[in-house]
Structure 1
Amino acid sequence: MIYLIASIAGIAGLLFGFDEGVIAGALHLLRAEFTISPLAEGLMTATVPFGAIGGALLAGWLAGPMGRRKLLLGAALLFVFGALLSAVATSLAHVCIARLLLGLAIGVAAMIAPLYISETAPARIRGMLVSIYQLAITLGILGAYLVGYVFSDSWRTMFATGMVPGLILFFGVVVLSDTPRWLVLRGRRDEARAVIARTQGLPRDHRDVVAELREIEKAAAADEAQGGWRDLLSPTVRPALVVGMGLFLLQQLSGINAVIYFAPTVFRLSGFDNTSTQMLATVGVGCVNVLMTFVAMGLIDRIGRRKLMFIGFAGAALSLGMIAVAAGTGASDLQALALVGLLLYIAAFAVAIGPLPWVMMSEIFPLHLRGPGMSAASITNWVFNFIVVLTFPVLVEAIGLAGVFGIYALVCLAGLVFTARLVPETSQVSLEEIEAHLKAGKPFSALATRAPDRT
């Protein structure tokens, strides 16, 4: 049952990836139909992350009173409506408004879907299950690239295709219950117990069900007199806020969405002149993204978050440096170096930098501050997503592709230092144990993985 729940919630990630990636295939058609300057191109592309900032704020505000399920249903309807408006757009401004709505839906879903999975999943497989969301993002990006290749002469068809997964998400969430932790917070103890039992495939009076419910109630009771955005800055919670926001800042400034949104442009600037070749290479990027996310799912609960993050940042820094060298020389015989560098970068991102901020965002905040905390982390994600996507065409024109990717490589080196000094190990640790560690005032990075249960 838990895998079905994670898969349904993960459709929100597929829509996230599709609506981000579909612009890559549509951009050259939109350029031909509308007059677009580099700044206008950046603004049009950046409407999605800009809308997502509002979505993250909305989700942080409503996650408590409305619950996780209702917000996912609302996001699904926005996905459908936004895709429809995009497909019938008659001007560049119309396209921007439609994609702003899609961004709003993504901002809500990107916070609520990982939260929904995390608050429902057992600790031993929580990282892998939350990673389903990141896997779905990569599948959505790949699907968008394939749609762009198949419907290369119709940007309207590309956009309209996004209505299908939006409808699937809506009808999938209709059959789900809310999370046991939210139900406990709302005083609905019996419903929470039923959800735990159904999720684990156990009787309602089984000792594991009773024990988990007791732990959730204990954490909820301890938090009852607290809560609010100001509490995120308290000495005990601030380390979680720094990690949650810091990981997303580094994730975005590593340049991933410059690649996702502008992949054909990156290949063109790297020396691939044929449009069809650019799109095929872009599909190859999507395939590597998906395959390496499967690798991440297999490793995330086995070797831990910190080790994977070190691997991801080191690999990304090296590969971005390769792209910068290839682009800086401009030699045609270095096209292969640029392609290998880009594929290695996508692999390093997909195995660590991509999924881990989503996983850890859903783990590290105390129960009473999970909504505001995840909202703050999500807002960081979307603000810097917006900045990267908006500035990429302008920066490339100003300092060239080599300079831009050189900056992204330096950010990844900074990520190694950040991970070493501040990031905790949350693998195999229950949400309640993470919260207890924070409240004890111990250094957050001192949190260690407990020995896995072999029984």
Structure 2
Amino acid sequence: MNVMAKAEKKISSAFIYFFGSFGGILFGYDIGVMTGALPFLQADWHLENAASLVGWITSAVMFGAIFGGALAGQLSDKFGRRKMILMSAIVFMVFSVLSGVSPDMGEASAYYLIIVRMLLGLAVGAASALVPAYMSEMAPAKARGRLSGLNQTMIVSGMLLSYVVDFLLKDLPGEWAWRLMLGLAAVPALILFLGVLRLPESPRFLLRKGDEAQARKVLSYIRKNPADIDQELASIKETAKEERQANQKTSWSTLFSGKYRYLVIAGVGVAAFQQFQGANAIFYYIPLIVQKATGQAASSNLMWPIVQGVILVIGSLVYMWIADKFNRRTLLMVGGAVMGLSFILPAVINWMMPNMNPMTIVVFLCIYVAFYSFTWAPLTWVLVGEIFPLAIRGRASGLASSFNWIGSWLVGLIFPIMTASMPQEAVFAIFGIICILGVIFVKTCVPETRGHTLEEIEEQGTNRGRVKASNPEN
């Protein structure tokens, strides 16, 4: 025990925060890797005219993630955040390899890959739920905002990594290129597994299980002042007590009672709009988008995903710089307005000038990605983390996450079907209208959370509920 304690003492807070957030790399890698793999997979399996199969192969991970996040949240309360992150890394490794060795059996191959990627999605959804939970429970209160930005930076860095890997492998024979692209996702999963082996368990989970001595030891690794440790232990105990009492008094119907309805609609709505605005259509299909616009083979357009990835990483760093300087609502509305115009203007220009340069749409997509990267991408989860009162936080956060994954899955599924049946500019114009609807939603339905305590935010919901109850026609 003493030897283990000494070994654990050597763990630095930087190591804990780095590998605590490293699961975002897995999440981002698998979001991005199909972007480059898909053109080669389509050619290898002759799926160029099978839009629905292409949509299912691409979106299967998100379908699995809908269930993976919910399942991991429940299991982590029983077994711990650390053990579930380790389990997610193992699942990710296994099914990444199985994706890369998909048998070539004609159309049956597509169904095999869809099933394997759904199971892989369980690990992706688990990582998306477990990493923020672990980080929020390990980070000091004053650093939680920056560390939420670190998680976003890890996700987009994983996407950029996958785009670079796709580009480096593009000159291999087609049947090998996509297999290696998918299979190499096992490498960051292995790194995560080895890193998390040395991580301590969350002090909050340890206290919930009655192990106060170990919780104090873990806090001593990441807090310098002993007085802060005592204060935090007392705070965790009090919060855990309040949550137990809240869970005993609430049900799913509580979310839509007059007192909480306003805040639940606001948080879940923002989470859903983030995906239905169409960002993932770009991230999954940008080579095919460029191919349709220019006529060049999608497999020769793998530099464009790297451009998008660089923009995303820079945007995540910009967000960390401006996060506490502007209101959440202001950033969401400005970002959503520019994103909407970036989708709508190419359709308008093409209507007015049918001979428009086909790369115009790609330029506008880069503008969209730039504004998305420092507004809706990170702020959705900051706002979801702030807006739900304690009594409903667990259920409401899970509902918001589910709607977000459902949106991600549907966009990935239907985009190739839509572009097969209508002009590409028209498809993006539809997403642009959804962006503008998102701006209207934020303006009319979402309260400002920056600079407000959780109690003040809850009071806004309570007051809005009273107003609605006294003026039902509104």
TM-score by length of 1: 0.88
Contact 1:317–1:410, Cα closer than 8 Å, also in 2: yes
**Cross-structure match for 1:139:** 157
Matched, 1:121 2:134: no
Contact 2:384–2:400, Cα closer than 8 Å, also in 1: yes
Contact 1:124–1:301, Cα closer than 8 Å, also in 2: no
After superposition, the Cα gap between the structure-2 partners of 1:439 and 1:170, relative to the gap in structure 1 and judged at 3 Å, is farther
**Cross-structure match for 2:375:** 352
Contact 2:271–2:384, Cα closer than 8 Å, also in 1: no
* Alpha-carbon displacement from aligned partner over 1:65-114 (angstroms, at most 9, x marks no partner): 22322221111111111111011111222222221122111111111111
Distance in 1 (CA, whole Å) between partners of 2:397 and 2:218 is 23
**Cross-structure match for 2:411:** 388
Identity of aligned residues (%): 34
Distance in 2 (CA, whole Å) between partners of 1:189 and 1:440 is 36
Distance in 1 (CA, whole Å) between partners of 2:327 and 2:459 is 23
Tell me the secondary structure at the aligned position of residue 91 of structure 2: helix
Question: How far has the Cα of 1:52 moved from its partner?
Answer: 0.6
Distance in 1 (CA, whole Å) between partners of 2:122 and 2:386 is 23
Question: How far has the Cα of 1:195 moved from its partner?
Answer: 3.2
TM-score by length of 2: 0.85
Question: How far has the Cα of 1:294 moved from its partner?
Answer: 0.9
Q: Which amino acid aligns with 1:19?
A: D
Tell me the secondary structure at the aligned position of residue 226 of structure 1: helix
Distance in 2 (CA, whole Å) between partners of 1:351 and 1:413 is 17
Taking the TM superposition and a 5 Å limit, the aligned residue runs for 1:298-447 are 298-325=321-348, 331=354, 333-366=356-389, 370-427=393-450, 433-434=453-454, 437-438=457-458, 442-443=462-463
Question: How far has the Cα of 1:411 moved from its partner?
Answer: 1.4
Matched, 1:13 2:52: no
Question: How far has the Cα of 1:25 moved from its partner?
Answer: 0.9
Unaligned runs of 5+ in 2: 1-11, 104-108, 466-474
After superposition, the Cα gap between the structure-2 partners of 1:221 and 1:149, relative to the gap in structure 1 and judged at 3 Å, is same
Matched, 1:223 2:236: no
**Cross-structure match for 2:312:** 289
Tell me the secondary structure at the aligned position of residue 46 of structure 1: helix
* Alpha-carbon displacement from aligned partner over 1:121-175 (angstroms, at most 9, x marks no partner): 2333312211222211211111111111111131111112111110111122222
Tell me the secondary structure at the aligned position of residue 375 of structure 2: helix
Contact 1:19–1:102, Cα closer than 8 Å, also in 2: no
Matched, 1:257 2:280: yes
Q: Which amino acid aligns with 1:26?
A: A
Taking the TM superposition and a 5 Å limit, the aligned residue runs for 1:166-315 are 166-203=189-226, 206=227, 208-227=228-247, 230=252, 231-271=254-294, 273-275=296-298, 278-315=301-338
RMSD: 2.6
After superposition, the Cα gap between the structure-2 partners of 1:131 and 1:282, relative to the gap in structure 1 and judged at 3 Å, is same
Matched, 1:27 2:38: yes
Question: How far has the Cα of 1:275 moved from its partner?
Answer: 4.0
The correspondence for 1:101, drawn from 109, 119, 135, is 119
Tell me the secondary structure at the aligned position of residue 274 of structure 2: helix
Greater mean deviation of Cα atoms: 362-371 or 255-264: 362-371
Question: How far has the Cα of 1:351 moved from its partner?
Answer: 0.4
Distance in 2 (CA, whole Å) between partners of 1:157 and 1:305 is 41
After superposition, the Cα gap between the structure-2 partners of 1:198 and 1:363, relative to the gap in structure 1 and judged at 3 Å, is farther
After superposition, the Cα gap between the structure-2 partners of 1:422 and 1:2, relative to the gap in structure 1 and judged at 3 Å, is farther
Query: Rg: which structure is higher?
Result: 2
After superposition, the Cα gap between the structure-2 partners of 1:239 and 1:118, relative to the gap in structure 1 and judged at 3 Å, is farther
Question: How far has the Cα of 1:46 moved from its partner?
Answer: 1.3
**Cross-structure match for 1:62:** 75
